[in-house]
Chains A and B, each alone.
Chain A
């Protein structure tokens, strides 16, 4: 029998070598090592995801990663990193990763509230609890994704947060992943958040460059939330180098009578692929996935999500807003699966894009897979230009075109931002949106569609 071995690209060969060289020193006992081995075997069989795979159709990672950068192993703390942290005006429990490695000296560990435990993932993996190994193995959706498999195989560190039953966080937990940017490096980090029964709180992820060099970032965050919990996740990818390629996976398993929502802002980044794999594990829960993508120049933002209604009485909402100028490309691929027994599912998915000129593109691909017969599900996808009538109305009141456009665009993005539950975080998000729009207004950029 002939065995067909697909030709490996340079980057794939480098990844194979890196894994072979580093697997002995990557954290984790035998169970974790087995996870890594299985995940890497999956990657080796399929290679880097490419455009002939439906789920990666518009973000060809194989082409984007011509060379796999050397694996980062942390980096020294720099003044630029401290400056970034100072600029991040958020009253929070701050946990910092530098090139994917936990940096306690930059974190505010004295601020850990009662009922919350924090550990670096590397520490947690030394003798991992049974449930952690299971959680890292991934949920039933997204498991076949090669981007995620690479993360499982090569994850070096991250943050492991556990919120005890009934604990309500007074301030958000913010995980700041800084790219040192001294040299071009590949960063693989994974964080895990476990929320106990009735736990409530907001977890913010910030992904930023604190240096000039481009990075290859593969990050993942896993949420397992218990019954009656209310957990909100916010991700800000707002300061990355243009040549940085970032793959971010969000995995969430949500208990019964619980609420989970996630909001992500991408602005001033390079190539960002966000993939959300979320599933309802308990009945009568609500999941919301939302985001705003502000892209111009040659930037690329891909949001690909799967929401899996495995049980009845689940409510899910997705709302993504993309504003694309320059030669930028936006992608939204959303799939809502309603299993046979998931009766009374209520699903609504929307992706709205505004293209600011002829060079910008948007690919919208909403999908519903419904096997139950008593559900309410809908989706809508739009691609448009700025409404000329709205613009005229504002200009007829004296607003110069760039300012009128900024106001319309802010309102467009605001429809998604308003779902960010924590007020201080919401203000931070809106300030980032406004800063992006102000920069555009200051450059007197106006739409030309």
Chain B
């Protein structure tokens, strides 16, 4: 369970405050969507949960299963079960995707006191997960995300999510830059991972993604706070009326 209480955040090097006392709870197994216009603070929220350093938390707390994660570095948060699927996955030239996947899986196992994966087991797991997402073997041999299309990068994010089996998945604008086929593959990948002990926070501008990943709850974010919470029908409403009634320009 993820609980965010009165979170106030500014950009570290500037006086610009982005989150203004945000409250949010995502229960175990829940798929929560956050919708909101550009600049409402959605991506900032995802970065702050994952532990990016460019922000300063002025107040509030983020609890994962009762434990405050704000004191942890990003790697410790990952080992605790937080996974952020990036809106713009980073290209890491010179690091083969397989090398990276193995390093990430073993680092998390190490942090949890588990033994390192044996190479054959690792390869088996990766191949099985990659097949489900239609990821070609050749992509796994290439440097991480380098020269990948938008759709390939997003599929790679979901592959990592599947392999690292986190308990709290955050999807930041995962639909951006995807055509309808890629969107379907990514959504199916996410849906396959839905489980009783795994929660999702799906951040999106558009209702479109929520046709494929059907949320349990929808939160509307505006000016750094959650201003309305409802069921999946709220997303449809927003699609018609826009964000104007929440004090934001469309």
**Quick one: which of A398, A410, A411, A414 contacts B104, CB cutoff 8 A?**
A398
Chain A residues whose C-beta falls within 8 Å of the C-beta of B83 in the assembled complex: 396
Contact B75 A408 (CB under 8 A): no
**Quick one: which of B90, B107, B111 contacts A393, CB cutoff 8 A?**
B90
Interface status of B71 (Cβ within 8 A of chain A) = no
Contact B107 A400 (CB under 8 A): yes
- Per-residue contact bits, chain B 73-90, to A (CB 8 Å; 1 contact, 0 not): 111011100011010011
Interface residues of B in 82-137 (CB under 8 A from A): 83-84, 86, 89-90, 92-95, 100, 103-105, 107-108, 111
Given A400-B75, A401-B75, A411-B94, residue A395 in contact with residue B51 (CB < 8 A): yes
A408 to B95, CA, bound (A): 8
Contact B78 A398 (CB under 8 A): yes
B interface residue count range (under 10 / 10 to 19 / 20 to 34 / 35 or more): 20 to 34
**Quick one: which of B54, B108, B111 contacts A388, CB cutoff 8 A?**
B54
- Per-residue contact bits, chain A 396-412, to B (CB 8 Å; 1 contact, 0 not): 11111101100110111
Chain A residues whose C-beta falls within 8 Å of the C-beta of B62 in the assembled complex: none
Interface status of A394 (Cβ within 8 A of chain B) = yes
Contact B75 A399 (CB under 8 A): yes
A390 to B145, CA, bound (A): 11
Interface status of B160 (Cβ within 8 A of chain A) = yes
Contact A407 B75 (CB under 8 A): no
Chain A residues whose C-beta falls within 8 Å of the C-beta of B79 in the assembled complex: 398
**Quick one: which of A398, A401, A411, A415 contacts B111, CB cutoff 8 A?**
A398
Contact B75 A390 (CB under 8 A): no
Contact B107 A401 (CB under 8 A): no
Interface status of A371 (Cβ within 8 A of chain B) = no
Q: How far is the CB of A64 from chain B (nearest CB, A)?
A: 34
Contact A415 B94 (CB under 8 A): yes
Interface status of B164 (Cβ within 8 A of chain A) = yes
A47 to B137, CA, bound (A): 61
Chain B residues whose C-beta falls within 8 Å of the C-beta of A414 in the assembled complex: 94
Interface status of B52 (Cβ within 8 A of chain A) = yes
Interface status of A54 (Cβ within 8 A of chain B) = no
Given A401-B75, A408-B92, A411-B95, residue A396 in contact with residue B100 (CB < 8 A): no
Q: How far is the CB of A354 from chain B (nearest CB, A)?
A: 13
Chain B residue nearest in CB terms to A413: B94
How many residue-residue contacts, CB under 8 A, span A and B? 79
Chain B residue nearest in CB terms to A414: B94
Contact A407 B78 (CB under 8 A): no
- Per-residue contact bits, chain B 140-176, to A (CB 8 Å; 1 contact, 0 not): 0001000000000000000010001000000000000
A interface residue count range (under 10 / 10 to 19 / 20 to 34 / 35 or more): 20 to 34
Contact A410 B74 (CB under 8 A): no
Which residue among A390, A395, A396, A414 has the maximum number of chain B CB atoms within 10 Å of its CB? A396
Given A388-B53, A388-B54, A407-B100, residue A396 in contact with residue B94 (CB < 8 A): no
A389 to B86, CA, bound (A): 11
Chain B residue nearest in CB terms to A408: B92
Chain A residue nearest in CB terms to B99: A407
Q: How far is the CB of A445 from chain B (nearest CB, A)?
A: 16
A415 to B95, CA, bound (A): 10
Interface status of B235 (Cβ within 8 A of chain A) = no
**Quick one: which of A394, A397, A398, A411 contacts B93, CB cutoff 8 A?**
A411
A179 to B160, CA, bound (A): 49
**Quick one: which of A393, A396, A403 contacts B103, CB cutoff 8 A?**
A403
Given A398-B107, A398-B111, A398-B164, residue A410 in contact with residue B86 (CB < 8 A): no
A395 to B95, CA, bound (A): 15
Chain B residues whose C-beta falls within 8 Å of the C-beta of A396 in the assembled complex: 50-52, 74-75, 77-78, 83-84, 86
Q: How far is the CB of A430 from chain B (nearest CB, A)?
A: 11
Chain A residues whose C-beta falls within 8 Å of the C-beta of B54 in the assembled complex: 388
Chain B residue nearest in CB terms to A402: B75
A320 to B181, CA, bound (A): 43
Q: How far is the CB of A127 from chain B (nearest CB, A)?
A: 50
A411 to B108, CA, bound (A): 21
**Quick one: which of B73, B74, B89, B92 contacts A411, CB cutoff 8 A?**
B92
Chain B residue nearest in CB terms to A392: B52
Interface residues of B in 161-209 (CB under 8 A from A): 164
Chain A residues whose C-beta falls within 8 Å of the C-beta of B94 in the assembled complex: 410-412, 414-415, 418
A403 to B164, CA, bound (A): 17
- Per-residue contact bits, chain B 35-75, to A (CB 8 Å; 1 contact, 0 not): 00000000000000011111000000000000000000111
Q: How far is the CB of A434 from chain B (nearest CB, A)?
A: 12
Interface residues of A in 174-225 (CB under 8 A from B): none
Contact A403 B51 (CB under 8 A): no
Contact B107 A407 (CB under 8 A): no
Q: How far is the CB of B170 from chain A (nearest CB, A)?
A: 10
Q: How far is the CB of B246 from chain A (nearest CB, A)?
A: 30
Contact A397 B92 (CB under 8 A): no
Contact A395 B103 (CB under 8 A): no
Given A400-B107, A401-B73, A412-B94, residue A395 in contact with residue B86 (CB < 8 A): no
Chain A residues whose C-beta falls within 8 Å of the C-beta of B74 in the assembled complex: 392, 395-396
Which residue among A394, A410, A414 has the maximum number of chain B CB atoms within 10 Å of its CB? A394
Contact B53 A392 (CB under 8 A): yes
Q: How far is the CB of B112 from chain A (nearest CB, A)?
A: 10
Chain B residues whose C-beta falls within 8 Å of the C-beta of A394 in the assembled complex: 92, 100, 104
Contact A393 B86 (CB under 8 A): yes
- Per-residue contact bits, chain A 147-185, to B (CB 8 Å; 1 contact, 0 not): 000000000000000000000000000000000000000
Question: Given contacts A388-B54, A396-B51, A399-B104, could you give 12 more A-B pairs where the C-beta distance is less than 8 Å?
Answer: A393-B89, A393-B90, A393-B92, A394-B104, A395-B51, A396-B75, A396-B86, A397-B104, A397-B107, A400-B107, A411-B93, A411-B94
Taking Cβ atoms with an 8 Å cutoff, the residues of B that contact A are 50-54, 73-75, 77-79, 83-84, 86, 89-90, 92-95, 100, 103-105, 107-108, 111, 143, 160, 164
Chain A to chain B: the 3 pairs with minimum beta-carbon distance, closest first: A411-B94, A395-B74, A398-B78
